[in-house]
Amino acid sequence: MPKRSSLYLSWLLIWLLLTMAGGLTWSRANAEGCPTNSDPIATDRPDVTNSSLVVPTGSLQAENGIDWTVRQDSDALSGTNTRLRLGIARCTEFVLDVPAYAEAFNGPEASGFTNVVVSFKRQLPVPLGFDLSATAGLGFPSGSPKLEGRGHQPYIQFPWSHPIVQNWEVVGMFTVTWFPNDSVRNPTFEPTLSLEREFGSHGDAFVEYVADYDHQRPSHLLDGGGSWRFSKTQQHDFHAGFGLNRSTVDHYFGIGYSFRLDSLFGNAGSRP
């Protein structure tokens, strides 16, 4: 009964978040802050902190990557880590995390597929130069229980960003994930903080801190990387990181490629 009550509470929180975001009245001034086809690609890769911006209305964005991870003397290769983002309305997107396969070559780590995760993301109007989005999603128990645990896993998430000086930006994210079938991890809080530097109109680099808090020993991670947009709708990226304590990964490295297809709904994503 407690597990069922926790799941009902998680669904209630997600419903409240989506109702709040969907019920906002958007003026033309607020809508101007959301990306359009004329804006360059902005991805949730390669850092853990997701973009505070949504994809343009009528655009489909595919973000893909491969990671090599070392944890407790286990080497694991995972891929493709694919996220599909579809702009379904003004300042709103649908997100699908496609299952990836992780192959552990040695040590105690398990191999298997990750879960399917379905989410909705809404960019919100906020003052003082901030960009903020609210995301609500649900992980389905389709992957390996040894990797992902059991049962449905709802979450809410708030990525944000703010420029500080020319070409520099501070970004962050706060995520709460519920694991109704795993009392040790239910709930898990993940704050992130990242400092990003743009290099012209095509490149950027970042350094990032990530923490996870549940009913076990907290984990702390430091990573960094960068991306290069060789066209308005295509991007290569890389990232590398290491754990700051024994509760997280030893170290990892990954590369990725992302692209965006515009105007799938006509000119819905163009700036008026």
Q: pLDDT (tens digit, 9 = 90+) per residue, 98-145?
A: 999 999 988 888 899 999 999 999 999 988 899 999 999 999 999 999
Of the candidates 45, 44, 109, 116, the residue with the CA atom closest to the CA atom of residue 77: 109
As a whole number of angstroms, the distance between CA 90 and CA 53 comes to: 12
Confidence of residue 58 (pLDDT cuts 50, 70, 90): very high
Q: Please report whether residue 271 resides in a domain.
A: no
pLDDT greater at residue 213 or residue 26: 213
Query: DSSP label at 50?
Result: P
Quick one: tokens of 259? 């692209």
Averaged pLDDT of the chain: 89
Tell me: pLDDT of 53 over 90. yes
Q: Is residue 267 part of a domain?
A: no
Cα separation, 193 vs 49, whole angstroms: 7
pLDDT (mean) for 150-167: 96
Split at pLDDT 50, 70, 90, the class of 265 is: confident
pLDDT at residue 153, rounded to an integer = 96
Domain ranges, residue 117: 2-261
Residue 269: inside a domain: no
Q: How many domains does the chain have?
A: 1
**Is 209 strand, coil or helix?**
strand
State residue 29's pLDDT score.
38
Helix (H) or strand (E) holding 148: helix 145-148
In a domain, 268, yes or no: no
- Predicted confidence at residue 109, as pLDDT, reads 85
H/E element, 187: none
Residue identified by tokens 């702009």 is: 87
Q: What share of the chain is helix, strand, coil (3-state, %, to 5)?
A: 10, 50, 40
Q: Quick one: 38 exposed, middle or buried, by C-beta within 10 A (0-12, 13-18, 19+)?
A: exposed
Give mean pLDDT, residues 93-98.
98
Q: Quick check: is 256 in a domain?
A: yes
Is the pLDDT assigned to residue 25 strictly greater than 50?
A: no
Which segment of 104-108, 146-150, 235-239 scores lowest on mean pLDDT? 104-108
Q: What is the CATH number of the domain that holds 89?
A: 2.40.160.40
Do the domain assignments include residue 266? no
Query: Does residue 206 register a pLDDT over 60?
Result: yes
